[in-house]
A and B are shown apart, each in its own frame.
Chain A
Amino acid sequence: MSMFFTNLVNGLAMGMVYFLTAAGMSIVMGVMGISNLAHGALYMVSAYVGWQVFKGFHGPFTLAVILGGLTGGLLGLLIERIFLRRLYKQPNEQVLLTYGFVYILTNLCLWIWQGWARMPFTAAALKPITIGGLRFASSRLLLIALGALFAVALWYLQDRTRLGARVRAGMDDKEMAQGMGVNMEMVSMLVFFIAAFVAGLSGVLGAQVMGINTEAGSTILVQALVVVIVGGVGSIQGALLGGLLIGLIDTFGKVLFPQLAMFTIYLAMVLILVVRPRGLLGRRG
């Protein structure tokens, strides 16, 4: 039983990292029709920046998280403003361009921080927590709590604010929204920034469990794509559900069917796609 609860926490924590990374990607795809494969690289760069602030400059963790997020957001905004805005409705070019950024940003990280892996940098400050005789890593519990907090914040932003209404309007019918006076250019810019900002936050938080290395961006990108497909494009709730599901399937898959560790999440993705081609909570259209 203890193994079940331990892995439940492990799976939920990983699920929250996947959710935070995939949420922005999903909304960007939904609102702007952009497949941003550099999303994982933004996660990685931000994680390194967080490490630099906390370990290199001995700054507080909150500052590391905020600056990590801002780095992701600003880098994402730059990519969107300088490159991607010229490539709307050109999916092949978007994919090639943003995948190129994966290489550029990975090599930039290699150049600045070199290839050696960094450990979770709050490790010394976080002691394990014992609940009901079971020992849990506090970094994972913290990740679950923060993930839930961001899920509520993102849901509120999308479903309860004027910006969220404009985003949803844009997703449903961009031309109509523009016709009604919504500045879709500004909305797209803001959405891209927020998406990349959340990916950056996710990078710093995810690093407290997995550490940081130059592979992290590519690895998380694949997981995030699976989450977007499973949860459905353009939905925060879908990204949350997809993230948690993939986190749990991946974790319990490794425990129960270790020989299939490489494939369990893809098997789950295929099965869900067969039943729900739009993903679990994907928007129509």
Chain B
Amino acid sequence: MSLGKPSRVRRAQLVANELEELAQRISRFPATLGQTVDDVEVWLCRTSRWAFGFEPTGLRPSLMLGRDQIGLRVLKDGKLGAASCTRFDESTWRGCVDQALAAATTTAGPSQFTAPRTRKPGPLTFDPDLCDAILAPGELHRMADAVVDNLRHEATRTPGLTAFGGHARYTLKRFVVGTRGGVCASIHGGVSAEVVLNRDHADTFHTVHNPESFQPLALLGVRTLRGRPTESASPRDLGLRGRVPVVLHPRAFEALLRRLVAPLMAGSSKQNTLGFREGDRVAHSAFTLVEDAGLDGLFSSRHFDDEGSPTRRNPLVMRGRLTQTLLPRGPNGQPGSAASYRHTLGTTEPQEVGPRPTASSLFVERGEVAFHELVAGLDKSLLVQSFMGLHGADPITTQFSSGVGTGVTLERGRESRLLAPGAWNVSGACLTLPGGVAGFLSDIVLSRELYDTGTAILPYCLTTLSV
């Protein structure tokens, strides 16, 4: 595929043909193994990426053309073995199968697997006539060029603007999962962009559908620039210390939910890892959290997971009560509620050790208060747009302490000053555990506005945290 030509329609045909060929070859492979295995599951992710970094000297291009990641799991006499490679080549796969088979048959332990977990033959979910995942990279190049040109121009005439950066990126992923039972395949494209000004203020753009207009992307730089407060403030300037009202931007809210709440909703029984049971109150009655890989328009949405099973909608918390635990599938093909993925969000590499139950797209139900009403009553507080390092978040207590990456002060109900870099730290806990500190999800007000982060749809969240 080239940057400028051929047209989007022609490109869609080329990608459709390529996906069909991948699916055909994967579907034929299990039969070539004869009786050496009882079954084999082949998972493929082919990634292409066109990226342009925004730098003071211009665009920095970076391309990745057709990078394959292939995971194989073999079943023999009730035992499962796994191997992986990055080469789309049947003889390499046969070598992987031999290695996986050797490990499976020499591993001690019960023979518990009766079938690989991919068993439902599915249709190709990609329809070239409907495909809007395809973007001519030339369009992205022209748009990125416009953004960086605009930023360079603004940098010369905007006092105080000393540095800018960011990127525009188009990623195309093809997923195929095949066994002797069948094959399923899909294609996912997405454009994302980010502009960062003076290393302390950022804005993002993303879409998984071909937009009718690229104007929002072209205007990203200007939007970021116009929305940037010119002054910054430290906790001392604001006189804030201790427990203070904090508004979590949906991106920051999602980061906390993904790291500390969604994983804890997974378990091997009706009781999850934190000890909550279904029906227990875990959050304020305004809080409803749904895991739904079928949400349209999100990078994290998929029709089938990395085991080839159809995904489903899982209400995790309804009006503050735990309604469902994400259960993995059983070894004998018992249905589970959790989808399993090799890629976890935020990582570039698949897990070497195979798919694991993971939350896909997240949805939090809206509140009843408009954002401006939410902040109108606050004399002094913070709007945290991103965290800087949630690595210290403790998954067994849901406590966290993190620096603030970007954010602004809310003074007299308005966005006022930037949060000085490296000067702000917020801490708290997400959930209230027996004997533990109170979780912030028990004390929240959610905005009426919903925000699409690219992997979740959430409202703004007003709560109280320690600063």
A and B bind: no
